[in-house]
Amino acid sequence: MNPCRRILLVEDDNVLRRVNTEVLLDSGYSVDAAGDGAVAWAALQLFEYDLLITDYNLPNVSGVNLLQNLYAAGMDLPVIMMSGTLPTAELNRYPWLKIESALRKPHSPAEFLAIVRNVLHSKDSTHEQLAPPPNWPHEVKPEINRIQP
């Protein structure tokens, strides 16, 4: 189970959003789901997430525009981008956009869940490598604390 993992899933297809949300919930994740990029951006400003899973082709704010907003705001969040056709040309124009994994649609629930677990595990490994030695003073913190709403 994954009791403390909060994921924002952004998908405009109602069926795929519902299926992927159920897969994540059944695996113990906490999930917020949004049907477009503007709603997702509002959620990202209000809540802290461990992972963003976004479709590329979204109404109102595209997946790439959502990532541009995310990184312009200094939010460090692992991202999985889903798409029927991956936007390699557009992503190559913005090499500073970090996407941990890409997932081509359609995909199986098992494939989806495996990628989510791999990305979150990778994030945990990076965090462990950056953690201070146990003898550091308690006042020194290696990560930036975000103010919660």
In a domain, 138, yes or no: no
Domain span at residue 49? 6-130
In a domain, 75, yes or no: yes
pLDDT, tens digit, for every residue of 1-53?
A: 445 799 999 999 999 999 999 999 999 999 999 999 999 999 999 999 999 99
Looking at the structure of the chain, the number of domains it has is 1
pTM: 0.79
pLDDT, tens digit, for every residue of 95-135?
A: 777 788 888 888 999 999 999 999 998 876 554 444 433 33
CATH number at residue 27: 3.40.50.2300
H/E element holding 75? none
CA distance 127 to 132: 10
Rg (CA), the chain: 16
In a domain, 141, yes or no: no
Q: Residues 62, 35: contact at Cβ < 8 Å?
A: no
Specify which residues 101 forms β-bridges with: 80
Sequence-distant contacts of 144-147: CB under 8 A, at least 24 apart: 146/48
